[in-house]
Amino acid sequence: MKVASIQMVSGISLDVNLSEALRLLRQAASAGAELAVLPEYFCFMGVKDEDKLLLAETPGLGKVQDFLSDAARDLKMWVVGGTLPMATEDPSHAANASLAYNPRGECASRYDKIHLFRFDNGREHYDEATVLRAGETPTVFECRDHSGQDWRIGQTVCYDLRFGELYRMLAADILLVPSAFTHTTGQAHWEVLLRARAIENQAFVIASAQGGVHENGRRTWGHSMVISPWGEVMAMHAEGPGVVLADLDIERLRSVREQLPSLQHRRL
């Protein structure tokens, strides 16, 4: 199955971000991708944390959800909308949700980010919990490719990457990691953590990232990539908008799991 990891440098205009996302999704579809993953906060990177609350949508109703549904249906591929803010019963907090749409434009899965980012090195300070509510449920969905092969896909987001126990629970063939890693933390830990998650879970990893200097002044690390179950970086895009393409081979997955048997996997 050909997959696409999409990198963006999202700004403060929802319409501009959606237009750029569609351009990149079309590029992925034209290259034959059956599954495309947008980065965390693909639709909006505001000036203040509270800005995202203004865009929070309810399930099945909202401009960003309509966009994802239309794109998946029109391009006839699976589209995972990195993350978008979804309303909760508390108007001061939203869920940071990753939604997967099938080629019919139907929302097939929703994952709310469980681990919320907090970082303070004296120069940079982030605390997502000020406006976001943490999710509670590890989430997987099934995706059938054009050949008829079923793939078990595990959803995670950004800071989840540091918590290996979550990935073990997913027992997935493909792990998704839409992200907006800061330049500081990404430079130090991004690739090594992604490769570790691939190796220890014997799974492909699709990591789509924000990558560049944003309108709000924030700088993100980028380096969107696809990684094999052996821990090899199959393809990567360092900085700026772009599409990372890779072909995932189920036989490669089987081979790794046969060479290094694990109690986690018995389905292939």
| Catalytic positions, written as ranges | 40, 113, 158
Half-sphere exposure of 152 (CA within 13 A, CB side): 16
Rg (CA), the chain: 17
Tell me the residue type at 74: D
Cβ(226)–Cβ(206) below 8 Å: yes
Beta bridge partners of 182: 220
